[in-house]
Amino acid sequence: MPFTFTRYRAAAAVAVVAIVAFAACESDTSSPTAPIQPTAAKTHTHGAHGGPVALTPDMLKAIAQVRKATAGFHDITVAQAAGYNVQFPPGCAELPGTGAQGFHWINNGLVDDKVELLKPELVMYEPKPGGGMQLVGVDYVVPLSASAEPPTLLGVPFAPLEALGVWALHIWAWRPNPDGMFAMWNPTVSCANQ
């Protein structure tokens, strides 16, 4: 059976629980063009494995490219027109006491065995006070069936999300994350305004 997220929609609540369970195991930018603040020497944790990931100059350049490629998606209607038109899983993903991921919008046409830096499979949004959404990061996924080993991006391994049938990796390109650029949850993101 081909991989699609459609077959998982009925089990969305289970998916959210799986993400929360997985996470248990392991300065807002006011302007869309504000530069990322971490330095190359700053160490960030990867939420999937808990190990430190030092951001190199090459990583910082790549993250700047991700920001450039997704800058138009600050307007959610632009993201939807570009194919990010299915919310998955439904609702705002949050782990109380740890942080949130926000709302995820997926482009099912990008879900395959390839990892392309400038084509993330999902974009993540935080609900804003008074309505609307603020772009906070991107999420890369590869079906578990595509690889027995975790894929990597920028030298960082993806985490397995068994309930969703994918390997996944976040890049918090639009919201600084004190837990790390690649962490599973961001304590500066909230679902309070949904």
Query: Considering the domain boundaries, does residue 188 fall inside one?
Result: no
- Cα–Cα dist 67/73, whole Å: 10
- Whole-Å CA distances, 79 to 69, 75, 84, 152: 11, 7, 5, 25
Query: Considering the domain boundaries, does residue 69 fall inside one?
Result: yes
- Note the helical H segments in the chain: 12-25, 57-70, 76-81
Share of the chain above pLDDT 90, in %: 70
What mean pLDDT do residues 51-76 have?
93
Query: Considering the domain boundaries, does residue 76 fall inside one?
Result: yes
Domain that holds residue 46: 6-29+40-171
Query: Considering the domain boundaries, does residue 161 fall inside one?
Result: yes
Query: Considering the domain boundaries, does residue 178 fall inside one?
Result: no
Query: Considering the domain boundaries, does residue 179 fall inside one?
Result: no
The pTM (predicted TM-score) of the whole model is 0.78
Predicted pLDDT at 52: 53
- Cα–Cα dist 177/162, whole Å: 25
Non-local (6+) Cβ contacts of 132 within 8 A are 76
Query: Considering the domain boundaries, does residue 91 fall inside one?
Result: yes
Residue pLDDT, tens place only, 83-121: 999 998 889 999 999 999 999 999 999 999 999 999 999
Query: Considering the domain boundaries, does residue 190 fall inside one?
Result: no
Q: Residue 44 is encoded by which pair of tokens?
A: 């960030």
Overall domain count for the chain: 1
